[in-house]
Amino acid sequence: MKLNKYIDHTLLKATATKKDVIKLCEEAKEYNFFSVCINSCYVTLAKKHLQGSDVKVCSVIGFPLGAMSTEAKVFETKQALKDGADEIDMVMNIGFLKSKDFDAVWKDIEAVKNEMPNNVLKVILETCYLEELEIIKASELAIQSGADFIKTSTGFGAGGATINDVKLMKKVAESYNTKIKASGGIRDYKTALEFINLGVERLGVSSGIAIMNGEQSESDY
């Protein structure tokens, strides 16, 4: 198994500098990770430094709260794609979900997917804030609105990916042939393998190098 191709090599902290992003890209090329996952302001920079490699650029949208207007998410998506993003990880509007305004949730996601019919859209559910029934409903809404992946976490919430949450997501995703990305708190090879064995097809980690080297990382994401 080529574990490196499961990894979105991630750097999303507010203090990330241009130098940090360039280093991330160099590491991604060295280990041949699937992508780098970055904030949208750095898409142009990452694209430039990944030129000539197979590593894709993944931009987060509406990050990390998911609580901005749909129009803002759509605009950020358009700009990220224009700057060269290959994939988009958008945060679901969690407050709308908890308000049971399911129409608003799916319209929010659908509006973003409409901007990118040929690109991969991952929708972040932020499972640490959801009850089990909400995780199931959020998964259904995201998938029915066009998500190619459903993703557990931003890494900025109260908790990251758990085996139980992924199992709940998997039950829904299997019916639709949708993929799952686990992120948040995956810091070592053993944990990464546990999620892959569950059927997860992508890992969002800032500890990709430690995972590949069989080490334990202290990183939060």
Where in the sequence numbering do the catalytic residues fall? Answer: 89, 151, 181
The token duo for 140 is 């259904």
Q: Is the peptide bond before 64 cis (omega within 30 degrees of 0)?
A: yes
- Residue written as token pair 């750095």: 42
**Phi-psi label, residue 167: left if phi above 0, alpha if psi -120 to 50, beta otherwise:** alpha
CB 199 within 8 A of CB 180: yes
Q: What's the chain's Rg over C-alpha atoms?
A: 16
Distance CA 72, CA 138 (A): 21
**Angle ∠(22,26,32) on CA atoms, nearest 5:** 140
Identify the three-state secondary structure at position 60. Answer: strand
Long-range contacts of 168-175 (CB under 8 A, 24+ apart): 168/132, 168/135, 168/136, 168/139, 169/125, 169/127, 169/135, 169/139, 170/198, 170/199, 171/136, 172/136, 172/139, 172/140, 172/143, 173/139, 173/143
